[in-house]
């Protein structure tokens, strides 16, 4: 039994309580979950199998689960005992009906439209789609991605910690975090599946930083991973060139610039020739003729080893791009916050 399983059980039981509408249903819930042989009691029995270092936190979360479910049960019991609410006043059937304007048909949000198109392109290139939890542990979000213990990305200034206290000298005190990238999904996939692997990982990520025209606290990413025998940078460049031409236009060129990421070696930033000015230089590309779209590189041998994959046998490449900034470039939007303010005057343009 893991902390994640406890959290999921809590949400499931509270959700089940919310749907109960009759006293017999409530009594059946009590017999199933709140008796000495019920679900919650069985979860406490399962504590015996939890590793010693995880047992205190698991016990604490189980106590929270039981308390919340019992409180919600009593609330539901009181509501059902009170009976249905008495309607205020009577209904006059002779009154004319209120006219309601017919709503205009909706459409895809520009971020969803951008993401769905990207996913479709990579699916045509043979990539599967993988998803993972937005609340991650330190091991998957940092350690297995080759981040050293003193890396700045672990600081409070960059990461949202679910647990407030951090003591890096004791493994049992390492916190849960809101994932800072979708790379942990790559780790979970490599732990679960042996090569060959070919998948993309779309989803939300979170950074503890000030919101501005170019960055947001919550944003969307799409990452990709390929692991197999004989995979090279040439394969990476070919896939990214194919994606860029399908997404931005058939005349687009790409270039790779050396960079550094803890989880890839060698690493490269990838630029595309500006699809607006054709590489001649304009306001959008800041007169450089190039637009940066993503980071990439060959999967670091330490990352492969941490996931149980032999780096002497297999190699791989990975890449990641921000959906928000890609949509900004594509639609000529200067402020990322416009995507999240729900201003119909903005959204109706798409």
Interatomic CA distance for residues 13 and 29, integer angstroms: 9
**pTM of the entire predicted model:** 0.65
**How distant, in Å, are the alpha carbons of 89, 187, 199, 256 from that of 297?**
69, 16, 15, 10
N residues, the chain: 350
How much of the chain is helix, strand and coil, in % rounded to 5?
40, 20, 40
Interatomic CA distance for residues 194 and 137, integer angstroms: 22
**Cβ(272)–Cβ(290) under 8 Å?**
yes
Interatomic CA distance for residues 203 and 218, integer angstroms: 10
**Dihedral over alpha carbons 108, 109, 114, 116 (to 10 degrees):** -50
The structural architecture, per CATH, of the domain 110-347 is 2-Layer Sandwich (3.30)
What string of pLDDT tens digits covers the 350 residues of the chain?
A: 677 788 788 888 888 888 888 888 888 888 888 888 888 888 888 888 888 888 888 888 888 888 998 998 898 888 888 766 555 556 777 877 777 777 777 788 999 999 999 999 999 999 999 999 999 998 999 999 998 887 776 665 688 888 655 554 454 556 789 999 999 999 999 999 999 999 999 999 998 888 888 788 899 999 999 999 999 999 999 999 999 999 988 888 999 999 999 999 999 999 998 877 777 887 767 888 898 899 999 999 999 999 999 999 999 999 999 999 899 888 888 888 888 888 888 888 88
């Amino acid at each position: 039994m893991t902390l994640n399983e406890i959290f999921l059980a809590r949400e499931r039981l509270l959700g089940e309580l919310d749907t109960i509408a009759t006293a017999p249903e409530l009594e059946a819930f009590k017999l199933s979950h709140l008796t000495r042989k019920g679900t919650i009691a069985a979860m406490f029995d399962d504590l015996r199998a939890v590793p010693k270092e995880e047992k205190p936190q698991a016990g604490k979360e189980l106590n929270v689960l039981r308390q919340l479910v019992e409180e919600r049960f009593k609330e539901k019991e009181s509501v059902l005992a009170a009976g249905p609410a008495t309607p205020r006043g009577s209904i006059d059937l002779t009154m004319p009906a209120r006219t309601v304007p017919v709503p205009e048909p909706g459409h895809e949000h520009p971020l969803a439209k951008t993401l769905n198109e990207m996913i479709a392109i990579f699916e045509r290139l043979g990539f599967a789609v993988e998803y993972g939890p937005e609340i991650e542990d330190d091991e998957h979000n940092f350690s297995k991605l080759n981040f050293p213990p003193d890396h700045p990305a672990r600081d409070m200034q960059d990461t949202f910690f679910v647990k407030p206290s951090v003591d890096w000298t004791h493994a049992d005190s390492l916190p849960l975090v809101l994932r800072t990238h979708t790379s942990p999904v790559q780790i979970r996939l490599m732990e679960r599946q042996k090569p060959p692997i070919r998948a993309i990982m779309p989803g939300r990520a979170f950074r503890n930083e000030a919101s501005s025209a170019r960055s947001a606290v919550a944003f969307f990413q799409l990452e990709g991973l390929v692991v197999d025998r004989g995979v090279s940078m040439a394969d990476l460049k070919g896939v990214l060139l194919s994606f860029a031409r399908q997404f931005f236009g058939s005349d687009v060129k790409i270039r790779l610039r050396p960079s550094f990421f803890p989880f890839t070696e060698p690493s490269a930033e990838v630029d595309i020739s500006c699809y607006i000015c054709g590489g001649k230089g304009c306001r959008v590309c800041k007169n450089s003729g190039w637009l940066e779209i993503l980071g990439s590189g060959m999967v670091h041998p330490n990352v492969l080893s941490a996931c149980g994959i032999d780096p002497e046998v297999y190699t791989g490449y990975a890449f990641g791009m921000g959906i928000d900034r890609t949509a900004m470039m594509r639609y000529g939007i200067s402020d990322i916050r416009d995507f999240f303010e729900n201003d119909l005057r903005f959204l109706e343009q798409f």
